[in-house]
Structure 1
Amino acid sequence: MNKAALLPKTIAIESLGFDAGAHLLVKHALTGLAPGQSLRVTSQVPGWQALLAAWARSQGHPLQWEPGQQAALLQTGSAEAGRWRDAAHTGHANPRLDGAVLEHAPAGWGLAARGARVEAGGPQWHFQLDHKQDFWTDSAADLYAQAVQAQWNPDTALDWDVVLDHPPEIEAAVVQVMTYMIENENAALLVPARFLGQLHPHYREMQAALAMQVADEARHIEVFTRRVRLGGSEPALSTAGGQTSLKSLLDEPDFSIASFLLSVLGEGTFVNLLQFLQAYAPDPLTRAMCRLAARDEARHVALGMSHLLYRLHSEPALRSRLAQAVEARHDLLAGSAGLNEEVFDSLILIGAGALAPAAIHTGFERVQQLVRDMGDGRFTRLLRLGFERDEAERLSALHTRNFM
């Protein structure tokens, strides 16, 4: 055996004090040693022995002194020693590794990055959503990546120099529908935002997906508001029934049920509405913004669906709770007016394109087809979630007349 290999490595920190970074030299020299090997440390700084001893204790490195204490022998010790003795292991940063995303994130992990070791003794963070089953989907990372790629800038993606040359009554109808859509998008922003603040950061893929959903809705509110003002108008009417319907979404405390009511039923229905406007709106700007918004909303529906499929796989009893939530919301809103007359009439005018008998007849038929398409879409998504056909038809019909 090579006798030189048995001798400890020596590092001279010379006149560099431990209060000026000498510990970095020692720390990095130790990282190159095998467990149990020693590092010989020398220094020319007065009192360095006490400072080295204190640092070694804090890091969990055994320390021996040579005669006269002119040099010290540090052993590599254990990564779990010293201040890290009771550190928590928080899984793996890579979500593709088995066990990376744990079923439960303890309160003591706080805001630490997943995969980090968390020193004991930190604060307790009480996140309401800290059990994976309650909100997770394995598709979150992919849907977030899709959202990142699909982001669009209202200033460059849309032509705001468009000339609005359609009749004033059609413009008034667009303003009323945009007003209605703004308040619905406010709800679609606030629901995920409320849960986002309750979600443990360990589940960062879902955190990111929900954050992108909030950003999408903020952009929709911006472009719908700008569209209202483009013709010199202010927002139109907001009804008590519409506000009551949307408040029921914000009042729902359960993430899965809120996702079901908002994303699967409400936003899914809104995709049909946006497609209707993409087809029949009187100007290319409105058609383009609705096309882009519909693409975003379809992603939100996919996130809600994928979460519910994930949870229903291991918790089929959730299906009955979802049905009860639809029934309870229907009963709550039974006394409200549903979709306000102004919005319904505005949709007919947009579908008609003109204030003439034959055109109005066409517009009315187009809105009736829209309502059928909305119901068919809800029915199809309910089937995908495992509801029987009769139950899916019944629940689809119970969905709020306010669309969202």
Structure 2
Amino acid sequence: MVNGGQLAGYASDPAHSRGRLHEEGKTTRGPRDAFQRDRDRIVHSISFRRLRHKTQVFVAPDGDHFRVRLTHSLEVAQIGRAMARALGLNEDLTEALCLAHDIGHPPFGHAGERALERALKDHGGFDHNAQTLRTLMFLERVYPHFDGLNLSWETLDGLAKHNGPVAKRGWAMEEANAAFDLDLARHSSLEAQIAAVSDDIAYDNHDIDDGLRAGLLTMDQLLGQPIVRKGWERIIATYPGVVKERLQRELVRDQIGQMVNDVIEATRARLMEHRIETAQDVRAAGLTLGNFSDVMQAEERALKRFMYDNLYYHPTQIAAADAADTVVSGLFSAYAADPVLMGEDWATRLPADNPQRARHIADYIAGMTDRFALNRFAEIYGAAAVPAGL
């Protein structure tokens, strides 16, 4: 039983989990099943707490009202849990996946990721999704007898396949898969699929909210998007005479609701069409079942292209990203030249040879928050060297 109702037959059942990498034996720490323990371990982890000072859209945001990775992850979890409940899925697994999906992001978001990709170009590259697995499986060090959080197979599987089956496998993904076979060529659980589309819904709409608040987007620009225009006309008709600023917030809420309802309806239709009855059927279906309808997906992709053109690649955002690149690249160069700067713990564990040596340095930097990275950069190069705008 879950949330007062029976799990659907195609839901992931913690009683039938494939288990954990490390055997733990019985525990008396509360009446929780495997997926509830995973969620709690994620929430209590150091890497999750660091998300409160990691970039979502705006690098080192000055305003308290802009989203960061932590608030984004919480919003994704709220959306995911609502859809999981409507579909009869396991809410705890869905929530765990939503909360953990961005843990592998380095400081300064995609700007930091690009800098680490370049630094590791000759050492296997860097990928934030694989880094999430690496962090949760190997880098967290809080248990007496094993490294990592020792999450269940279903949680690791869902995180590995955040964007579907993994065809291109970098070194970090291969390492995780070698330790605990994640069946990377097949689709993941329906909970994982819902977590992935919840991420799209959250950042599509909440980034609009932040973009309007920052003045980098205007309603006139947004109304060129069919999905936004339809929603705005609906809002104006429902709330005549209300000030524009309040209606903009209502537009975002309404658009989230429209997308959520679309996913639920489209997912139910696919489940019926493909006669999905069990969790095994979900994995064997050969397609993503939990997703937008074709019409909504086309509109959502158009909106995403608009956001890249007008927000993510806005001149002020590009300038901030260039500054962030300078910081992350500078830190990597400094630590490669003098590992003692990382501190005793990380320096003493530094492998002697590449590629492991470079990857170890990247692990250290990837775990940093924006402000920690800025402070370390200032300590090494001087406060005057910190790029303007950070």
TM-score when scaled to structure 1? Answer: 0.27
TM-score when scaled to structure 2? Answer: 0.27
Higher strand share: 1
Could you say which structure has the larger radius of gyration?
1
Higher relative contact order (CA 8 A, sep 6+): 2
